[in-house]
Amino acid sequence: MSELKEPKPAKVITGLLISPSVNQQECFEMLFRHFGDIDFISESIQFDYSKYYEPEMGTGLKRRFVAYKDLRRQDDLVSLKLLAMEIEDRFKEQGKRRLNVDPGLVTLERLVLATGKNYTHRIYLRTGVFADLTLVFKKGTYI
């Protein structure tokens, strides 16, 4: 019989898609206020892998990743997604997102992202939020 116990806390990350009209400094300040001290911000990468977001967010999107200093409980994933959606709403222009914030949790075993989209490999949590097992750590690397 298994014994139920709390998992270790996880590292919080956010993946960002940023429209050219977004003030990135303002974005990072808002992320700091909602998610806590930032300990890493990636360089800006041109996002041209998909046109999925263009109808809503336009062209010239940039991808950035942000990591936060404090570890969080793994069952905080839903609240992190709800906070991310609040931030997205603050940057909307004419009802369209200009910022996409995808929160996730990194542990020694995996990377799990929060999403509002259902799919076969996603597990429903609550409040319309699903957990997406994005990467698994195996044989010394994430796959």
Tens-digit pLDDT profile for residues 5-21: 999 999 999 999 999 99
Q: What's the first-to-final CA gap in the chain, in angstroms?
A: 30
29-63, pLDDT tens digit by residue? 999 999 999 999 999 999 998 999 999 999 999 99
* Burial profile 72-111: b = 16 or more Cβ within 10 angstroms, e = fewer: beeebbbebbebbbebbeebeeeeebbbbbbbbbbeeebb
pTM of the predicted model as reported, rounded to 2 decimal places: 0.93
Q: What is the pLDDT of residue 1?
A: 86
Quick one: tokens of 28?
């990072």
Q: Where does 10-142 sit in CATH, by number?
A: 3.30.70
Q: Delimit the domains of the chain by residue range.
A: 10-142
Residue 58 to residue 33: CA distance in whole angstroms:
27
How buried is residue 58: exposed, middle or buried, by Cβ count under 10 Å (0-12/13-18/19+)? middle
pLDDT in tens, 112-141: 999 999 999 999 999 999 999 999 999 999
Q: Which amino acid is at 16?
A: L
